[in-house]
Amino acid sequence: MIRGEGLRPALLVALLGALLVALCLLSIALGALSIPLDQVIRTLSGHPHSRLIENVIWSVRVPRTALGLTAGAALGLSGALMQALTRNPLADPGLLGVSAGAAFAIVLSVAVLGIGSLLGYIWSAFAGALVASVLVFLLGKLGRSGLTPVKLALAGVAVTALLTSLTSAVVLTDPDALNRYRFWSAGSLAGQDGDAVLRILPFVAAGAVLALACAPTLNSLALGDDVAASLGRRLGLVRLQGVAAVTLLTGGAVAVIGPVVFLGLVVPHIARVLAQYAGLGPDHRWLLPLSAVLAPCLLLVADIAGRLLARPAEIQAGVLVAFIGGPFFIAMVRRRRLAEV
């Protein structure tokens, strides 16, 4: 990549587009059964090499890749939006209790209501994500100093710990909830068909529209609440819109692939670095779309690596994303502490 002004926005878009296409082709080609790229392209263009390869590609690999694109974009966009709304670089749906709320609601719906359909999981995840978001914001506002990034992070950790404990208590007393939760909680793109993508796509699309519509106000909000208000921005409305977007994006993704932690934390920081090199600056009209493209790239890389490292078995993508995001989170915390000294 070229440094500074040499990297224009058009080149950045072209490079990211090419990377995403390449990862999609690799996601379709690699796995327990490796398929040559030329046969992948022939099958996708309607000229399959064999019936076996055609079934594997269209029944398993394409839905899995499409799910990675949809859920990854949702989590990346949600993370970037949360960091902008809270002005906290450590904000993430997994760290602020949103994913834990969705997970607890799904487990509770299985154990108490006997829900077993994907659509039921989605609506349960929305409800849990919304309640957790509101609870974290209310706890973060307590005290004289009001809502601060540190208090918000602490509130998120506390709510996440509480909901995780409640989730464990439910699954240990209900075998059906335990069986569902055991695999789902690790975060994986496996085991879903094309219907799963179609079910969450309308919700993710609605959340993406709400999130992108917030971008101009987020640029003003980065200067502080007083400055944003003086510019005529309706802060209460944009925060309400942001919470709705985070709920739709996170709830839809978590309901299908499970709580993939750290994806929404890492990706926005990478997006800021790329935007800086491209000369775009901290403009959320670019940062949000960049996060929505980079997150599926990282999720697909983790999914592909998980298939190859333990072939013919698999390592869940959420495990590998956490393996990458954990050290990144520690480095971010240490960096902030050193900056405050």
Predicted pLDDT of residue 30: 92
Predicted pLDDT of residue 4: 45
Sorted by sequence, the CB contacts under 8 Å of residue 104 that are 6+ apart come out as 128, 132, 163, 164, 166, 167, 170
- Amino acid of residue 284: H
Segment 237-242 shows an average pLDDT of: 81
pLDDT tens, 270-314?
Answer: 998 888 888 788 888 899 999 999 999 999 999 999 999 888 888
Predicted pLDDT of residue 212: 92
Q: What is the DSSP string of 222-251?
A: TT-HHHHHHTT--HHHHHHHHHHHHHHHHH
- Amino acid of residue 293: V
Residue 114 DSSP code = -
Predicted pLDDT of residue 304: 94
pLDDT band at 231 (very low <50, low <70, confident <90, very high): low
Cα–Cα distances (Å) from 4 to 19, 236, 309, in that order, read 21, 37, 37
Q: How does the average pLDDT of the chain come out, rounded?
A: 83
| Fold of the domain built from segment(s) 70-340 | ABC transporter involved in vitamin B12 uptake, BtuC (1.10.3470)
Q: For residues 3 and 50, which has the higher predicted lDDT (pLDDT)?
A: 50
pLDDT tens, 141-192?
Answer: 777 766 666 677 788 888 888 998 998 888 888 777 777 777 777 778 887 7
Predicted pLDDT of residue 96: 73
**Is it the case that residue 245 has pLDDT exceeding 50?**
yes
Predicted pLDDT of residue 323: 84
- Amino acid of residue 188: S
Predicted pLDDT of residue 333: 64
Rounded to the nearest 10°, the torsion over CA 59, 63, 65, 71 is: -160
Of 168-172, 227-231, 240-244, 337-341, which gets the smallest average pLDDT?
337-341
Measured in residues, the chain has a length of 341
Domain chopping of the chain, boundaries: 70-340
Measured in degrees and rounded to the nearest 5, phi and psi for residue 84 equal -75, -40
Residue 185 DSSP code = T
- Max avg pLDDT among 10-19, 23-32, 86-95, 248-257: 23-32
Is the bond into 149 cis (omega within 30 degrees of 0)?
no
pLDDT band at 6 (very low <50, low <70, confident <90, very high): very low
Q: For residues 13 and 94, which has the higher predicted lDDT (pLDDT)?
A: 13
Burial of residue 309, with CB atoms counted within 10 A of its CB: 0-12 exposed, 13-18 middle, 19 or more buried:
exposed
Predicted pLDDT of residue 5: 52
Measured in degrees and rounded to the nearest 5, phi and psi for residue 277 equal -65, -30
**Is it the case that residue 338 has pLDDT exceeding 70?**
no
Instruction: Single out the residue of 38, 13, 27, 16 nearest to residue 301, CA to CA.
Output: 27
Of 88-92, 106-110, 211-215, 285-289, which gets the smallest average pLDDT?
88-92
pLDDT band at 66 (very low <50, low <70, confident <90, very high): very high
